[in-house]
């Protein structure tokens, strides 16, 4: 039997010794598509940062692929799509250069064969998100939704077994949401484990096979998406992004599983 992708027991995560998330018990098995729900300040981002090794474990245990987070070095097995569009705007970096940065291995020089393989994988990842014609354009010249797709390609290019997407539809117009949805559908079909962070239930209901809801740093629901607390649909403290390029509603969302 394979180790769970994520195994957190009594986990506390936080900053400067202050716990933001406490008593978290979360087990994610291989191939699961889990939606992590919660209002702003509920601890979703802290959980993500903990899984990425960016936030220290204050108490409890956290293992990835069967290895304690302290000893987990195979970071390439995890792909991460941040919510923010991380374009510095200083130097014009092309889409293919940014995607290529997700392919980095160790510091040692690449062999010619590895160079060829890297080039092929970068082209494939860019093609998978529908940006083949923009591969050599500066990332900063693309729309917000296209930039998110490029960062999705950067996560895919390392061929991850576990993909973490932080608010993938926030600030993204309908057309780009659909392309993201189609790409993610293929990733899910390939057996990749997915953790999808969102503040809205719409896309998760359609994509996730399981929903975990956080409130004030604790899990308040872990089960079928349809059974997730209904309050989240209407509660005013659920953040609605007002930087969206298109209509505020989710449109097609990530309609990936089932009709």
Partner 1 sequence: MRIELLEYAFMQRALLASVLIGLAAPSVGIFLVQRRLSLIGDGLGHVALTGVAIGLVTSTSPVQTALVAAVVGSVAVELIRVSGRASGDVALAVLFYGGIAGGVVIVSKAPEGTPVNLDAYLFGSITTTTRGDVVAFAILAVLVLAVTHGLGRHLFAVSNDEEHARAAGLPVVGLNVALAVVTSITVVVSMRVVGLLLISALMVIPVATAQLVTRSFRATSLVATAIGLVASVSGTGASYYWDTPSGGTIVLLAVGAFVVLSLVTGVAARLRRSPG
Cβ closest to partner 1, residue 140 vs residue 257:
140
Residues 6+ apart with CB under 8 A from 79: 102, 155, 156, 158, 160, 162, 163, 164
> In this chain, which stretch among 56-64, 75-83, 185-193, 194-202 interacts with partner 1, using CB under 8 A?
75-83
> In this chain, which stretch among 58-66, 125-133, 135-143, 192-200 interacts with partner 1, using CB under 8 A?
135-143
Residues 6+ apart with CB under 8 A from 152: 81, 129, 165, 168, 180, 183
**Contact between residue 64 and residue 6 where contact means Cβ atoms under 8 Å apart:** yes
> In this chain, which stretch among 23-31, 74-82, 121-129, 232-240 interacts with partner 1, using CB under 8 A?
74-82
- Helix H or strand E segment including 163: strand 162-166
Nearest to 53 by CA among 80, 86, 16, 20: 80
- In the numeric block, the tokens 């609605």 are attached to 240
> In this chain, which stretch among 17-25, 68-76, 199-207, 225-233 interacts with partner 1, using CB under 8 A?
68-76
Size of the site for partner 1 (CB under 8 A): 30
Out of 45, 146, 147, 158, the only residue in the binding site for partner 1 (CB under 8 A) is 158
The verdict on 98 binding partner 1 (CB under 8 A) reads yes
Residue numbers of the site for partner 1 (CB under 8 A)?
52-54, 73-76, 78, 80, 82, 86, 88, 90-94, 97-98, 100-102, 104, 107, 109, 136-138, 154, 158
């Amino acid at each position: 039997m394979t180790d769970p992708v994520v195994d957190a027991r009594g986990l506390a995560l936080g900053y400067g010794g202050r716990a933001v998330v406490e008593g978290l018990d979360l087990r994610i098995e291989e191939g699961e598509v889990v939606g992590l729900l919660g209002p702003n300040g509920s601890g979703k981002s802290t959980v993500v940062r903990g899984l990425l090794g960016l936030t220290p474990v204050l108490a409890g245990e956290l293992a990835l692929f069967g290895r304690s987070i302290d000893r987990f070095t195979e970071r390439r097995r995890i792909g991460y799509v941040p919510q923010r569009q991380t374009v510095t705007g200083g130097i014009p970096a092309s889409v293919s250069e940014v995607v290529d940065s997700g392919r980095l291995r160790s510091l040692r020089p690449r062999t010619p064969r590895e160079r060829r393989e890297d080039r092929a994988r970068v082209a494939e990842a860019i093609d998978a998100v529908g940006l083949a014609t923009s591969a050599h354009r500066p990332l900063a010249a693309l729309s917000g939704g296209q930039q998110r797709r490029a960062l999705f390609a950067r996560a895919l290019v390392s061929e991850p077994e576990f993909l973490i997407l932080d608010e993938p539809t926030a600030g993204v117009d309908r057309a780009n949401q659909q392309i993201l949805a189609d790409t993610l559908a293929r990733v899910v079909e390939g057996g990749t484990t997915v953790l999808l962070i969102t503040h809205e239930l719409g896309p998760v209901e359609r994509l996730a096979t399981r929903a975990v809801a956080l409130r004030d740093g604790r899990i308040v629901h872990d089960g079928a998406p349809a059974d997730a607390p209904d309050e989240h649909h209407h509660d005013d403290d659920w953040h609605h992004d007002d930087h969206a390029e298109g209509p505020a509603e989710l449109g097609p969302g990530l309609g990936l599983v089932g009709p």
